[in-house]
Amino acid sequence: MLMEEFGYLLSELPVLVLMIWAAVKIIHWRRARENRPRFNEADRRMLFQAARYGPDRWQFYPRFVLAVIAVSILGSLQIVVLAPLGAAIVTGAFVLTSTAIVHRALLRDR
């Protein structure tokens, strides 16, 4: 059983790494075409800023519940639709969708 799971991991891991590498290269290529730096101040703010609504404020909880429900519903739909394409594709799509939902619900102003 362990060898079977390890074989599945070995077959899907390169696809996931290739998807991440390709996405980063496409972003670098687009920014190079527009003569922009690869990593700028907007990226730094997006990645390292504190959330506007923390657990100490009441606005956090409705937004958090909304994000959990949206990620659960869309994640289950993605798993059903994309499962035949492989675990790496499902993982990439799920991570991208989840981060977009959480960013929109918790980190951005409405």
Residue range 65-87, pLDDT digits in tens? 999 999 999 999 999 999 898 88
Question: Residue 67 and residue 98: Cα distance in Å, rounded?
Answer: 9
| For the chain, percent of residues with pLDDT exceeding 90 | 26
The least confident of 17-21, 55-59, 99-103 is 55-59
- Terminal Cα distance for the chain, rounded: 49
Q: Which of 28-37, 39-48, 99-108 has the highest mean pLDDT?
A: 28-37
Question: Residue 21 and residue 87: Cα distance in Å, rounded?
Answer: 17
**pTM for the structure as a whole:** 0.63
Phi then psi for 53, rounded to 5 degrees? -110, 115
